Amino acid sequence: MSLTLGSGPLGGRPAASNYTIDAPPHKILFQADSRRLRAFAGEDTVLDTTGAHLLHETGIAPVAYVPLEDFDAGLLERTQTSTHCPFKGDASYWSLRVGDEQREDAVWAYEQPLEQASWLRGFAALAFHRADRWMVEDEPIAGHLRDPYHRVDVHQSSRAVRISAGDDLIAQSARPVLVFETSLPVRAYVHRRDIVAGHLAPSPTRTTCPYKGDAAHWHVHAGGETFRDAAWSYELPLAEAMKIAGHVCFAAEGITVALEG
């Protein structure tokens, strides 16, 4: 499970257990990550490291902190920006120079961290979306860095599912594919043949999940209403989610997904 999100042991609403953790409400864990991590801006390599650490923090997705010496210092320009975190201390910032473009405050570091976060000294973080691409080893990263404690399990099921808006049936299936993802409700994906014709209209929205792949979205017309971006599918999902290829999932206020059991 994810350590710091949802019901994880360091999350905001931990699952029931027979133990307690003697810790503050806001928890931080700094964990070594031995994978090779690279980030690029244009054709320049901003960082290249095998010494990254993932900072897990209550309610926040993990952030990669990299030894300062593993950044290309020639691409960085210190700025006057400073922010304060009550758990880590005062952060300094650097802009990222990409040709004639300057990406303001793209990198930050706690140069003199609070004593309880002293292990941050000598490390810096690059805002994920301020780089043009990232790679783990020789594979590109989709969406954002994966949380090593986050799971996505995909199972074929015989639990019937009925999807509707008011009295208007949208889809019905006796063989949905169920996706169980850390900290999220179970999602039922139904095959396109089980969707009642006339309910879906293409949406320009595209999203990326680092665990499932690139998603296309649809608006749903049902019950006399239009539910924008209320359906999505992964046309070419990542290998670990391949069972949802050709299937569509629905979720929006006003749309009922009734899963047996």
Is 11 inside a domain boundary? no
Residues 162 and 183 occupy one common structural domain: yes
Is 15 inside a domain boundary? no
Please report which confidence band the pLDDT of residue 22 belongs to, taking 50, 70 and 90 as the band edges.
Answer: confident
Residues 109 and 158 occupy one common structural domain: no
Is 168 inside a domain boundary? yes
**Domain final residue, candidates 83, 105, 140:** 140
Q: pTM for this one?
A: 0.81
Total domains present in the chain = 2
CA–CA dist 194, 171 (Å, integer): 6
> What three-state secondary structure class fits 23?
coil
Q: What is the CATH number of the domain that holds 93?
A: 2.170.150.40
Q: Find the mean pLDDT for residues 183-190.
A: 93
Q: Which residue has the tokens 């396109």?
A: 192
Residues 126 and 169 occupy one common structural domain: no
Q: Which residue has the tokens 């019901």?
A: 7
**Domain final residue, candidates 140, 174, 196:** 140
> Which pLDDT does position 12 carry in this prediction?
67
> Which pLDDT does position 165 carry in this prediction?
95
Is 36 inside a domain boundary? yes
Residues 35 and 106 occupy one common structural domain: yes
Is 125 inside a domain boundary? yes
Residues 136 and 156 occupy one common structural domain: no
Tokens of 42: 């244009």
Residues 130 and 188 occupy one common structural domain: no
Surface-to-core class of residue 204, CB atoms within 10 Å of its CB (0-12 exposed, 13-18 middle, 19+ buried)? exposed
Please report which confidence band the pLDDT of residue 256 belongs to, taking 50, 70 and 90 as the band edges.
Answer: very high
Q: Find the mean pLDDT for residues 230-242.
A: 94
pLDDT of 127-185, one tens digit each?
999 999 999 999 999 888 888 888 899 999 999 999 999 999 999 999 999 999 988 89
Is 18 inside a domain boundary? no
* Percent of the chain scoring above 70 in pLDDT: 96
CA–CA dist 250, 231 (Å, integer): 4
CA distances from 61 to 55, 79, 149, 234 (A): 9, 26, 11, 23
Q: Which domain holds residue 170?
A: 152-259
The torsion region of residue 243 among left (phi > 0), alpha (psi -120 to 50) and beta comes to alpha
Q: What are the phi and psi torsion angles at 116 (to 5°)?
A: -75, -5
Please report which confidence band the pLDDT of residue 84 belongs to, taking 50, 70 and 90 as the band edges.
Answer: very high
Residues 94 and 196 occupy one common structural domain: no
Q: Tell me what the pLDDT averaged over the chain comes to.
A: 93
Residues 158 and 238 occupy one common structural domain: yes
According to DSSP, residue 124 is labeled E
> Which pLDDT does position 80 carry in this prediction?
97
